[in-house]
Amino acid sequence: MASLSSQPPSPCSPYPSSTTSNRIYSSFCTAKISNWIECYNPSNNLWDRITTIPGLIENRVLKGFSMVSIGHCIYIIGGRLCQKLSGHEPDEIFEVNVEVLQRVLRYDVVNDVWSKCASLRVPRFDFACTVCDDKIYVAGGQSKLSCARGTASAEVYDPALDEWKFLPNMNTLRYKCVAVTWQGKIHVVGGFAENRDSDRKVTSWRAMERSSAEVYDWENTKWELIRGMWQLDVPPNQIVAVGDQLFSSGDCLNAWKGHIDAFDGNLNIWNEVDGSHLETLSSPISTSVANWQPGKRLYLTMAPIGAQLYFLAGYRMPGEISRSTCNVHVFDTSADGDAWTSLEPIEEEGEKELCGHCCALSQPQM
């Protein structure tokens, strides 16, 4: 396992594009194994289990955290610590929440070293998180296990100073919201949201707030509320930016609704992307790309690399023996014709659970 440095982390500088290659990193767990991180290499369609998240004892897993990259480093931020317990029936496993974390860790993928970073000012899970100008921005989320209510607080981390600073509060309390940096601005979209009246008292939940977004106004240092940017009562699963476009494939209840949507900022609506339908992402598994069989999808997450959207999906394979496949589908947002590429799936023993959305980064070619 990688060592955990007690020294304050130094900022990670991005490598020049001429000497870099892209990788996608995801965190998984099983009923008995705590979080580990896998690396997917798009150039050869191979997965590699590279490290485990330090500080987790047996049967403890981290969920609801955010994982982002700056330079050649991955940051694991906040989250909800759970304990996996066995039930009365064979193979029955259930979770018990333990605590909400303020902890922030940094993993240097080049040197295989974990470091402790300054802790969040507010513990939180299921929160919005994005990177802008090599700083990490977080907003919303839940801060207490005993209260199913979001927070309006936001903060920013500067790796060069190893310091978190509060930002002004958002207009709404929200959790299970997502963040994306788009057109140079921080957008916090959707989530389960509550408004506050003029006396700062929390009013009831309304779909109007849940389908809204908040954009940070740099000049006036405040959040601007945008009505209807998400349009659904259910929080988004992921929203990612590719160039000047925003893309989404579903919500937190249905991560893949059969196609990809793109956001029209002028009309404030989401439109289906031509040619983005892909039936094999809806529910199937396969033993080969040409031989699809019905099955259950275990997880789905996406990451942008250049003009391409990489969808990482896991499926349970039919049969008495517990097996699964890891499938990768790539959508080229710049293509005029057939934009999908499906790569040969990789079969695995047992099943694993995705614990947080993936992130992509560039690193030196080895």
Q: Concatenate the DSSP letters of all residues of 10-55 into one string.
A: PPPPPPPGGGEEEEEEEEEE-SSS--EEEEEETTTTEEEEEEE-TT
Query: Which pair of structure tokens corresponds to residue 152?
Result: 């309006």
User: How many domains does the structure of the chain reveal?
Assistant: 1
Q: What is the pLDDT of residues 197-227, one digit of tens each?
A: 545 554 444 556 788 999 999 999 999 999 9
Q: Look at 28-32, 103-107, 111-115 and tell me which has the smallest mean pLDDT.
A: 28-32
Q: Please, where are the H alpha helices in 187-273?
A: 207-210
In this prediction, residue 239 carries a pLDDT of: 98
Does this model's pTM top 0.75? My answer is yes
The 3-class secondary structure across 103-150, one letter per residue, is CEEEEECCCCEEEECCCCCCCCECCEEEEECCEEEEECCECCCCCCCC
pLDDT of residue 364 exceeding 80, the answer is no
In this prediction, residue 15 carries a pLDDT of: 37
- Binned at pLDDT 50, 70 and 90, residue 148 comes out as confident
More confident call, 254 vs 198: 254
More confident call, 97 vs 39: 39
Give the span between the Cα atoms of 163 and 182, in whole angstroms.
24
Give how far Cα 100 sits from Cα of 39, 126, 142, 272, 362, Å: 26, 10, 8, 37, 30
Rounded mean pLDDT of 228-239?
Answer: 92
Query: Residue 9 has what DSSP assignment?
Result: P
Contact 23, 33 (CB under 8 A): no
Question: Residue 68: which residues within 8 A CB-CB, separation 6 or more?
Answer: 74, 75, 77, 129, 130, 131, 136, 359
Neighbours of 154 (CB within 10 A): 25
Contact 78, 124 (CB under 8 A): yes
Q: In what order do the strands lie in the sheet with 261-264?
A: 240-242, 245-248, 261-264, 269-272
pLDDT of residue 366 exceeding 70, the answer is no
Contact 188, 182 (CB under 8 A): no
- Binned at pLDDT 50, 70 and 90, residue 349 comes out as confident
Q: Which domain holds residue 128?
A: 3-364
Q: What is the pLDDT of residues 58-79, one digit of tens each?
A: 889 999 999 999 999 999 999 9
Q: Look up residue 112 and give its amino acid.
A: D
- Binned at pLDDT 50, 70 and 90, residue 300 comes out as very high
In this prediction, residue 92 carries a pLDDT of: 67
Residue 83: give its domain's CATH number. 2.120.10.80
Mean per-residue pLDDT over the chain, rounded: 87
pLDDT of residue 83 exceeding 80, the answer is yes
Q: Is 89 exposed, middle or buried (0-12, 13-18, 19+ CB in 10 A)?
A: exposed
- Binned at pLDDT 50, 70 and 90, residue 1 comes out as very low
In this prediction, residue 36 carries a pLDDT of: 96
Q: What is the pLDDT of residues 163-206, one digit of tens each?
A: 999 999 999 999 999 999 999 999 999 999 887 654 555 444 45
pLDDT of residue 231 exceeding 50, the answer is yes
Q: Look at 13-17, 255-259, 315-319 and tell me which has the smallest mean pLDDT.
A: 13-17
Q: Look at 13-22, 37-46, 205-214 and tell me which has the smallest mean pLDDT.
A: 13-22
pLDDT of residue 291 exceeding 90, the answer is no
pLDDT of residue 288 exceeding 80, the answer is no
In this prediction, residue 184 carries a pLDDT of: 93
In this prediction, residue 271 carries a pLDDT of: 96
pLDDT of residue 230 exceeding 50, the answer is yes
